[in-house]
């Protein structure tokens, strides 16, 4: 179902999320997010997420109307010239295609474990506060077959606008577990036989090629500044490092996730 309106300002109440795109923590509290870009919005419309509205230049209307008319919910389609959109949002836009949708309810960890076939491969984010890095991690999860993302209590949401954009919409198909305490969730994984492996550059315990990633496991990634937190590191089964050239002490967390996930895929015979 579709309701089309042309606009010249953001006075309509339904346009408030576009007006406040820099206030993304408020969006998360409202359980909404903004998707940006033609490809990403198209992928959003192919999901069962609840979509509230689209905002786009008139040249895109013919392409998106058929997708919107197939939606079961009523979607507001707002049309404006690209220069007006840039003026209203305060952003320079390559395509000018935006959408607002509802963040899906978080998935309980036990439901994830019940649905994921073995060998399970999970990823956990501990203290990630850079939206682009988290988006890259999500994209890597999709590329290398991770089955779910465990989001630590000190990490930002993967539904931040820049995270959604950097993930290229792959967050739409990756279940997210919002952990009240990541350390508790890791203990719960151990109780059902899932090992937790921390990506930790400052360890002499084991290098990545020596780690056993064939069985059920969860890969834990921290932020670049501090790495995995001491509380979370203490409950992991092991800490593993990627060997690097002298003078380089760490990788960007998105790159580290790609390396670890590829190694897990390789050990499982997928690469």
Tell me, what's the pLDDT at 150? 98
Per-residue pLDDT reduced to its tens digit, 167-198: 999 999 999 999 999 999 999 999 999 999 99
Whole-number Å distance between alpha carbons of 136 and 110: 26
Total of domains in the chain: 2
Report yes or no: 123 and 261 within 8 Å, Cβ to Cβ.
yes
On whether both 113 and 239 belong to a single domain, the answer is yes
* Sequential DSSP letters for 201-265: SS-SS-BGGGS--SSSEEEEEEBTTTBS-HHHHHHSSEEEB----TT-----HHHHHHHHHHHHH
Q: pLDDT averaged over the chain? A: 91
Write phi, then psi, for 2 (nearest 5 degrees): -145, 140
Structure token digits, residue 165: 């954009």
Tell me which residue range forms the domain holding 18.
2-102
On whether both 146 and 253 belong to a single domain, the answer is yes
On whether both 239 and 185 belong to a single domain, the answer is yes
On whether both 116 and 93 belong to a single domain, the answer is no
* Band of pLDDT at residue 203, cut at 50, 70 and 90: low
Chosen domain end from 102, 130, 145: 102
Tell me, what's the pLDDT at 82? 76
Structure token digits, residue 161: 């606008």
Q: Maximum CA pair distance of the chain?
A: 61
Chosen domain end from 87, 102, 117: 102
In this structure, of 1-15, 104-118, 226-240, the range with the lowest mean pLDDT score is 1-15
On whether both 22 and 41 belong to a single domain, the answer is yes
Per-residue pLDDT reduced to its tens digit, 35-60: 999 999 999 999 999 999 999 988 89
* Band of pLDDT at residue 204, cut at 50, 70 and 90: low
Per-residue pLDDT reduced to its tens digit, 69-94: 999 999 999 998 877 777 777 666 65
pLDDT surpassing 80 at residue 95: no
């Amino acid at each position: 179902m579709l309701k089309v309106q042309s606009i010249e300002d953001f006075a309509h109440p339904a346009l408030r999320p576009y007006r406040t795109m820099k206030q993304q923590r408020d969006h998360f509290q409202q359980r909404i997010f903004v998707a940006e870009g033609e490809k990403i919005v198209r992928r959003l419309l192919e999901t069962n997420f609840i979509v509230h509205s689209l905002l786009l230049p008139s040249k895109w209307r013919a392409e998106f109307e058929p997708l919107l008319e197939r939606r079961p919910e009523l979607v507001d389609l707002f049309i404006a010239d690209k220069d007006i959109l840039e003026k209203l949002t305060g952003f320079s836009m390559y395509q000018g295609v935006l959408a607002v949708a509802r963040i899906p309810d978080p998935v309980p960890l036990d439901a994830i474990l019940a649905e994921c076939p073995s060998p399970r491969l999970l990823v956990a984010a501990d203290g990630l506060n850079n939206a682009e890095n988290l988006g890259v991690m999500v994209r890597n999860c999709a590329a290398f077959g991770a089955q779910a993302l465990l989001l630590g209590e000190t990490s930002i949401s993967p539904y931040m606008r820049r995270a959604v954009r950097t993930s290229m919409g792959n967050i739409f198909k990756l279940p997210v577990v919002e952990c009240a305490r990541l350390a508790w969730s890791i203990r719960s994984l151990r109780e059902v036989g899932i090992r937790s492996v921390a990506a930790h550059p400052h360890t002499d315990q084991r290098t990545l090629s020596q780690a056993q990633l064939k069985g059920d496991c969860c890969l834990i990634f921290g932020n670049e500044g501090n790495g995995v937190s001491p509380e979370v590191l203490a409950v992991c089964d092991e800490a593993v490092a990627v060997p690097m050239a002298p003078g380089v002490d760490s990788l960007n967390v998105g790159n580290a996730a790609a390396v670890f996930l590829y190694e897990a895929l390789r050990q499982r015979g997928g690469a």
